[in-house]
Chain A
Amino acid sequence: MPLPTSRPRLTVAVTGLNATDSPGPGVAVIRALRESPDFELRIIGLSYEALEPGIYLRELVDKTYQLPYPTAGTAALLERLRYIQEQEDVAVLIPNFDAELFNFIKLEAPLRALGIRTFLPTLAQLEARDKLNLPAFGAAHGLRVPASQPLFDIAELPAAAEALGWPLVLKGRYYDAAVVHSLAQAEQAFLRLSGQWGVPLIAQQFVAGQEINIAGLGDGHGRALSAVPMRKLTITDKGKAWAGITLEDEALLALARRFAEATKWRGGFELELLRTAADELVILEINPRFPAWVYLTAAAGQNQPAALLRLALSLPVPVMEGYAVGKMFVRYAWDLITDHTAFQQVAALGEL
């Protein structure tokens, strides 16, 4: 669909530019935003490392600034964003990493004072759907979730396996997971995951079934403005979707609506589900942001990032009905070519 020729100009900042084999959602979010019928956008990329591919996708990202890592805290982040805002007139900022959301939510008011709007879940919502709190979350809202327990020490593995059975799923605090079938495998996975992501890990009961994901957008008042279910057709060795297809299933849409209603979710979300042989839908994980495959929602007719942009600007967004079923994405790897001077500028000066 051709975009209107004269649209108001707007600057939007986006994180999650690591379009790698375990991709952040930023590049997909930007691609969808570029198709917004409402605005002609200047996109500011916000990166953490100098080799995040999105930095060098100049047709999508106009300018990139590096951010301090989330562990540096809110003061360092605010200072950096204040500097960026002096250079750019950022109207809306869309964070896309689980690990950075806490800081951005804490900074919502100071950012607004700088003229930067966000549309994020509340801290309470963020905490409630945390992997560590998922069983309580499921119980509170009548949503089916697998049994799980936190693991702070490798010595807790035998008891967890006794309680949850084999195979067992071990999950990192924010990312990564392994299905293990024995204590030896579990110990090996514990060391790898805790070494990479710290503790606690989460031990989760294994559930067999077909994996389905739903990308959604909640208005913060109990409505799911959009929900698009997708089945992964090919996955990487990290379990990430490399190809997927949109599905038609009222039960999936009803679940997304129920989630948004029960939580009054504000912002993008992803439900990671399993459909068991008995046709039950089990929520494995709730991601508090758009998934890396979110461009498929735009391709299927429900542009969730563009709708979130409108919400951040307090513009009305109607509930989106209908989307193309059987719309597929197939991800691909592409060698971006850049020059060492561009890399040096990002690495040394923190902007490009």
Chain B
Amino acid sequence: MKLKPNIATSEAGFLFNPATGDSFAANPLAADILARARAGQDAAAIKADILERYDVAPGQLEKDWDDLLAQLRDFNLLA
């Protein structure tokens, strides 16, 4: 998961695409995932941490992860 370099993110979870003017609000978990990804953490490490901190089955996490990626792709935010 790699955001386009021009996408601005805030600690509060807001994303801004300066090329389209679109703004998005991520929920706290999504914001945390995006911040970790931007900091260079790979997907496996982020997922492992989520499995440790949250009561979620690995299969469900994979499904939700794919949903998040699909949404980010739809919103034209991924590099």
Are A325 and B20 in contact, with the CB atoms below 8 A? Answer: no
A210 to B16, CA, bound (A): 17
Are B8 and A248 in contact, with the CB atoms below 8 A? Answer: no
Closest chain B CB from A19 CB (angstroms): 24
B16 surroundings in chain A (CB, below 8 A) = 326
Are A210 and B20 in contact, with the CB atoms below 8 A? Answer: yes
B20 surroundings in chain A (CB, below 8 A) = 210, 231, 247
Q: Which of A308-343 contact B (CB under 8 A)?
A: 325-326
A249 within 8 A of B: yes
A247 surroundings in chain B (CB, below 8 A) = 18-21
A244 to B21, CA, bound (A): 9
A154 within 8 A of B: no
A231 to B18, CA, bound (A): 10
Per-position binary interface string of chain B over residues 44-61, scored 1 when its CB falls under 8 Å from any chain A CB and 0 otherwise: 000000000000000000
Per-position binary interface string of chain B over residues 1-41, scored 1 when its CB falls under 8 Å from any chain A CB and 0 otherwise: 00000101000000010111100000000000000000000
Q: Which of A200-223 contact B (CB under 8 A)?
A: 210
A178 within 8 A of B: no
A210 to B21, CA, bound (A): 11
Q: Select which of A210, A244, A325 is within 8 A of B18 by beta carbon.
A: A325
Chain A CB within 10 A, most for which of B6, B8, B18, B19? B19
Name the interface size band of chain B: under 10
Chain A CB within 10 A, most for which of B8, B19, B20, B21? B21
Q: Which of A225-250 contact B (CB under 8 A)?
A: 231, 233, 244-249
Q: In chain B, what residue has the closest Cβ to A325? A: B18
B19 surroundings in chain A (CB, below 8 A) = 247-249
A233 to B17, CA, bound (A): 13
A55 to B9, CA, bound (A): 43
A171 to B58, CA, bound (A): 57
Closest chain B CB from A124 CB (angstroms): 35
Q: Which of A48-80 contact B (CB under 8 A)?
A: none
B8 surroundings in chain A (CB, below 8 A) = 326
A248 to B8, CA, bound (A): 12
Q: In chain A, what residue has the closest Cβ to B19? A: A249
Closest chain B CB from A81 CB (angstroms): 41
Q: In chain B, what residue has the closest Cβ to A245? A: B21
Closest chain A CB from B18 CB (angstroms): 4
Q: In chain A, what residue has the closest Cβ to B18? A: A248
B18 surroundings in chain A (CB, below 8 A) = 247-249, 325-326
Closest chain A CB from B41 CB (angstroms): 27
Closest chain B CB from A266 CB (angstroms): 29
Q: In chain A, what residue has the closest Cβ to B6? A: A248
A248 to B73, CA, bound (A): 20
Q: In chain B, what residue has the closest Cβ to A233? A: B21
A244 to B8, CA, bound (A): 18
Known: A246-B21, A247-B20. 16 other contacts (CB 8 A): A210-B20, A231-B20, A231-B21, A244-B21, A245-B21, A247-B18, A247-B19, A247-B21, A248-B6, A248-B18, A248-B19, A249-B18, A249-B19, A325-B18, A326-B8, A326-B16
A residues whose Cβ falls under 8 Å from a Cβ of B: 210, 231, 233, 244-249, 325-326
> What 5 A-B pairs are tightest by C-beta distance, nearest first?
A231-B21, A248-B18, A245-B21, A325-B18, A249-B19
Sample 15 A-B pairs with CB under 8 A, ordered by A number: A210-B20, A231-B20, A231-B21, A233-B21, A245-B21, A246-B21, A247-B18, A247-B20, A247-B21, A248-B19, A249-B19, A325-B18, A326-B8, A326-B18, A326-B21
